[in-house]
Amino acid sequence: MPFMYQNILAAICLLTLFAAHPVVAAAPIPAPPSVAASGHLLMDFDSGRTLSEHNADQKLEPASLTKIMTAYVVLRELKGGHIQLDDKVLISKKAWRTPGSRMFIEVGKEVSVEQLLKGMIIQSGNDASVALAEHIAGSEETFANLMNNHAQRLGMHNSHFVNSTGLPDENHYTTARDIVKVSAATIREFPEYYPWYAETEYTFNDIKQHNRNRLLWRDKSVDGVKTGHTEAAGYCLVASAKRESMRLISVVMGTDSEDARARESLSLLNYGFRFFETHRLYDAGVALNQTRVWKGTKESLAVGLEQALYVTIPRNQYANLKATMNLDPKRLAPIDKGQVMGSVDVSLADQIVISVPLIALEQIDEGGIMQTLKDTVLLWFE
């Protein structure tokens, strides 16, 4: 089949993929709830779509939300094989004396990395945070440099950390948008450890303490992530919930009470789940089309997506989605694997919801002299 007709056929298939039902007019989505916080953000985990925000890029004190980044760095070290869960950590005087919330470790005693991680994640122990930082980097100051390096890699460009705990410092800050990024990375990269964020209590040294995230009791779909509070930062909460196949992450920073941060977070989550739905449209690395390549060792190139494609749309509008594929028909070899070859545009009510690059799923080298001459002649007629 000529490639021109293959491309047309593929585009028709994409267009009809979502058109199995008659078009239904979208009901208007109500405005998000008003949130009594210095800054907030509600985001779909899979698609990355923001559903509500206010002052999401304003630099704010994170208090113990900092420990989401602290734990992320520790989990990266675990995944990299640099430390082990059963490693014994000698507790320093600095860690033992760290003020604020604590898991009640004792100076000079040895505590495992796993115990310290749970004490930090579940009990929000400042002492555990410092002990882990010192174990990994030698000092809390050096560990903060690791935190900032990972923050930059994750695109948290409005964040800067000077300690592992979130204790107040004028040079220690983040934003609602940035803290969502590291929260999402934690859920995505460490599925074996993320369930610790849903544990409601932890006992160490015969002292039982409860998780401060009240939503773990109020809503069974909530499975994380972290609370924070100082006088300067106010009451903060990062919450994540999964209902059926849809996961949302909310952040509220600078509310005026424990009850307020829980109430405002649940209000955001309920809004997102009530009025939106998320769909996985295409998998990563699967050929969505074949495109013609000229002057190469092969004439046909498979194209697809680097990452799975998700869209978040108003509820009951899936049948009204339309997808179109845009491909440059005159691609010349050589083609590198991963090279952008075009795009897939997904639209709803004539508005593009998302546009993602189509990439080459294989490499095609430059062809020989005869193939080059043949395609040069054919291109004249194109």
What is the DSSP code (8-state) at residue 100?
A: S
Helix 66-79 with 126-137: angle, nearest 10 deg: 40
Q: Is 64 a residue of the active site?
A: yes
Concatenate the DSSP letters of all residues of 19-34 into one string.
-SS---PPPPPPPPPP
Distance CA 181, CA 174 (A): 11
Tokens 């991963």 belong to residue = 338
As a dihedral over the C-alpha atoms of residue 181, residue 184, residue 185, residue 188, rounded to 10 degrees, the angle is: -160
**Which residue of the set 64, 159, 164, 250 is catalytic?**
64
Q: Which candidate, 190, 174, 166, places its Cα nearest to that of 73?
A: 190
- The tokens describing 19, both together, are 């058109």
Q: Element (H or E) spanning 146, and its range?
A: helix 140-153
Q: Among 64, 292, 76, which residue's Cα sits nearest to residue 189?
A: 76
3-class secondary-structure state, position 249? strand
- Is 109 annotated in the active site? no
Structure token digits, residue 339: 């090279």
Among residues 38, 52, 67, 181, the one annotated as catalytic is 67
Could you tell me if 329 and 24 are in contact, meaning their C-beta atoms sit under 8 angstroms apart? Answer: no
DSSP 168: -
Contact 140, 134 (CB under 8 A): yes
Query: With left for phi above 0 and alpha for psi between -120 and 50, is residue 258 left, alpha or beta?
Result: alpha
* Rg of the chain in Å (alpha carbons): 25
Q: Catalytic: which of 38, 47, 124, 164?
A: 124
Give the residue numbers marked as catalytic.
64, 67, 124
